[in-house]
Amino acid sequence: MTHMSDRVGVRDLRQNLSRYLDRVKAGDSLVVTERGREVARLVPSAASVAPALERLLARGATMPGGDLLDATWSRSPPGYPRPSVQEVLDDLREDRV
């Protein structure tokens, strides 16, 4: 299971629909193309993702936890005040300019 978005042409999808649907059920996403241009995406439904998540958890995978701001600003020196959400957003917006 790759979980990457693979590209598949409309003709190939039509001829091998069952095979591609099996991949999507297993968690893969597919970008459907027509003449090289993206026309659709096939992604797993929430109902088919849940069993895949359960299998990963059964194999010992863990769910992420904690505070995203702590992870984002973990490079700050000890004792450095934690930024507000607004400060983080302002900082991210500056990076786009």
* CATH architecture assigned to 5-58: 3-Layer(aba) Sandwich (3.40)
Distance CA 43, CA 49 (A): 10
What does pTM read for this prediction?
0.47
Q: Burial-class residue 22 by CB neighbours within 10 Å (0-12, 13-18, 19+).
A: exposed
Q: Which residues contact 93 (CB under 8 A, 6 or more apart)?
A: none
Q: What is the pLDDT of residues 49-66, one digit of tens each?
A: 677 777 778 888 877 776
Distance CA 91, CA 50 (A): 35
Distance CA 63, CA 25 (A): 21
**pLDDT grade, residue 42 (50/70/90)?**
very high
Q: Give residue 2's pLDDT.
A: 42
Q: What is the pLDDT of residues 70-89, one digit of tens each?
A: 655 555 566 667 777 788 78
Alpha helices in 1-97 (DSSP H): 10-15, 17-25, 46-58, 68-72, 85-96
Distances (CA, A) of 24 to 11, 72, 76, 86: 17, 32, 41, 38
Average the pLDDT over each of 14-18, 19-23, 59-63 and give the range with the smallest value. 59-63
> What is the residue extent of each domain of the chain?
5-58, 64-97
